[in-house]
Amino acid sequence: SPSVRFPDVDLFRHNAPISGAGGVRSAEDVMQYTFAGASLVEIGTASFADPHIPLRVIEELQTLGVRLGARQLIELVGAAIAN
């Protein structure tokens, strides 16, 4: 599980794109970055161990998104940051 640090709130409020990377192996990992403000999340080294991991994570995200009531992942970007 990745260690997520919240971005500078001013960057988030000004719609600066934020990318999350490091330790991503599951939809839950992606959601940690997404809730913290990342609109892009990278899967890197994990794909060397499992080349199918990106497809699996996408499938997991679809299921998780439905459970969270989101039609699109972008609806959850920054959910953990107080407005």
pLDDT at res. 10 = 60
**What does the block give as tokens for 39?**
């609109």
User: 26 or 78: which carries more pLDDT confidence?
Assistant: 26
pLDDT of residue 83 exceeding 90, the answer is no
pLDDT of residue 7 exceeding 60, the answer is no
Indicate the DSSP class of residue 19: E
CA–CA separation, 40 vs 25, rounded Å? 15
pLDDT tens for 38-69 read 989 999 999 999 999 999 999 999 999 899 99
Can you give the pTM of this predicted structure?
0.79
